[in-house]
Amino acid sequence: MSDQLACHKHGRSDLGYQHWRWQPHDCNLKRWNVTEMWEKLRGKRLMFVGDSLNRGQWISMVCLLQSVIPADKRSMSPNAPLTIFRAEEYNATIEFLWAPLLVDSNSDDPVNHRLDERIMRPDSVLKHSSKWEHADILVFNSYLWWRQGPVKLLWSADENGACEELDGLGAMELAMGAWADWVASKVDPQKKRVFFATMSPTHLWSREWEPGSNGNCYGEKMPIDWEGYWGSGSDMPTMRMVEKVLGRLGSKVSVLNITQLSEYRKDGHPSIYRKFWETLSPEQLSNPKSYSDCIHWCLPGVPDVWNELLFHLL
């Protein structure tokens, strides 16, 4: 469990956020069954590829599955670009690969990636695909890192070339194109399942669900009860671009559409109940408006719902 997501451990006393499940209209999701999920994974590699939100979903999956594996029959590799949970008796792994932009970039170090400028190779996934290509089930995500200003482009053939600059959406479309080319040329849907998770919403401005208020997700204990709610943290042009790219891939990729169901969950974020590198100081704790994390998700919580959806689709 990551200290960044262990909200109860870091002082969150209300636990309602742990117990919601998703009920679609007109159908029922398959109920989570841990042994059935392990049987689906027997002899296979399940790999999550993306940013810290996808890492949260990976942690959720490990937590949902590890309880039935005896302690001496499971292991976790150290935290590196590729982190691996192994279950011996199923000959299976649940893995996470840090690749926040999907393509090769200067943000590919899982620890030292807070850089002044982002530089990516818009035509190359080689560094990452060499690690993900042998997985049997792949769950990709990419969104939040494209929302942080312009990105510099360095084309592969041009080692020291001048970097042109592109806005986040344009750069993401290039990266998604390179990723889609890999899927189109390398994925046989009979042998490999590929999922792409849509954007994970943020809840940074309480005025969006409670007009006139001036807070964020801090102190929120209930989901938004407003069907079709859509906040500013989910960018509709990005959603349309992703839909267009995935549409070209047909049956080679399945969409894990988490955005609308997660939009309601203003109650699910860590806010100040977390530790990121170091524990928040008393001054920071007393200023939740400035120091709340309204991007990531507490565990147990919302990412468990995403994994129930993944289980259903598998």
pLDDT digits (tens, 9 = 90+) for 227-262: 999 999 999 999 999 999 999 999 999 999 999 999
52 is catalytic: yes
Catalytic residue, candidates 52, 124, 234, 262? 52
pLDDT digits (tens, 9 = 90+) for 44-67: 999 999 999 999 999 999 999 999
Catalytic residue, candidates 124, 267, 296, 304? 296
Ordered DSSP codes for 228-241: T---TTS-HHHHHH
Report which of 254, 256, 251, 249 is spatially closest to residue 190, judged by C-alpha positions: 251
Cα–Cα distances (Å) from 104 to 118, 158, 173, 264, in that order, read 11, 14, 14, 33
pTM of the model: 0.95
- Please enumerate in sequence order all residues whose Cβ is within 8 A of that of 252, keeping only pairs 6 or more positions apart, or say none: 183, 184, 187, 189, 194
Q: For position 130, what pLDDT does the model report?
A: 95
Q: For position 80, what pLDDT does the model report?
A: 80
Q: For position 158, what pLDDT does the model report?
A: 66
Query: Do residues 122 and 175 lie in contact, with contact meaning Cβ atoms separated by under 8 Å?
Result: yes
296 is catalytic: yes
What is the DSSP-derived secondary structure letter of residue 59? H
Write out the H or E segment, with its range, that includes residue 116: none
How large a percentage of the chain has pLDDT more than 90? 84
Catalytic residue, candidates 104, 108, 293, 304? 293
Task: State which residues of the chain have pLDDT below 50.
Answer: none
Q: For position 251, what pLDDT does the model report?
A: 96
Q: For position 129, what pLDDT does the model report?
A: 97
Q: For position 111, what pLDDT does the model report?
A: 80
Q: For position 78, what pLDDT does the model report?
A: 78
Q: For position 161, what pLDDT does the model report?
A: 65
How large a percentage of the chain has pLDDT more than 70? 97
